[in-house]
Amino acid sequence: MLKSNHEDNNKPKYNLFKNSKYAISGLRITFRNEMSFKVEILIAIPLLIAIYLVDFEMMEKTILLITLFLVLIVEILNSAVENVVDITTKEYNILAKNAKDMGAGAVFISICLHVMCWAIFYLN
C-alpha cells in the first residue's frame, strides 16, 4: 500500500524553522565532507569582493553573483548525487560512474559559465 506524504518518514510535515535547520545542516555537511565545495567557497570569497569592487554595471554584477552562486548550488547537487550513488552500490557500475561524471560535468559547465561572464564583461 502506498503511503501518503504525511506518513513518509523521509518527508516530514513542512515547518519553516525545521526546514531551515535541515538546509543549514546540509550546507555544513557539504562543507565538512566535500573538498571541492571548500575550494569553491575559498575562491568565491575573493570573487564576491571583486564583484563588489569592479566597475561594472549593476546588471553585470548581478549576473556575476548569480553565476557564482550557481557554481556552489550545482556543487551541492553534485555532492548529493554522489552520496546517493554511493549508498546505492559499493561495486563498480558503469551507470554509477556515469551519474557521478555527469554531476561533475554540470559543475564544470557552471564554472565555465561564470568564467565566460567575467570575460565578456571585462572585455566589453
- Among 34, 40, 60, 75, the one annotated catalytic: 75
* Degrees, nearest 5: CA angle 107-111-117: 145
Cα-Cα end-to-end distance for the chain: 61
* Degrees, nearest 5: CA angle 53-55-61: 75
Active site residue 75: yes
Q: What is the dihedral of CA 21, 26, 32, 37, to 10 degrees?
A: -130
What cell was used for 52?
563588489
Enzyme catalytic residues: 75
